[in-house]
Amino acid sequence: MSEFSPLRRKILLGGAATAGLSLFPSFSFASQFAETPRKLALSNLHTGEELKTEYFNGRQYQSAELHKLNHLCRDFRRNESIEMDKRLFDQLSAIQNVIGCDTQVQIISGYRSPATNEMLRGKSHGGVAKKSLHMLGKAMDFRLEGVPLTEVRKAALSLKAGGVGYYPGSNFVHIDTGRVRFW
Query: In the chain, which residues have pLDDT < 70?
Result: 1-34, 126
pLDDT value of position 34: 66
The answer to whether the CB of 132 falls within 8 A of the CB of 112 is yes
pLDDT value of position 29: 54
pLDDT value of position 121: 84
Phi, psi at 108, each rounded to 5°: -95, -45
Instruction: Say what the pTM is.
Output: 0.81
CATH 3.30.1380 at 35-167, yes or no: yes
pLDDT value of position 105: 98
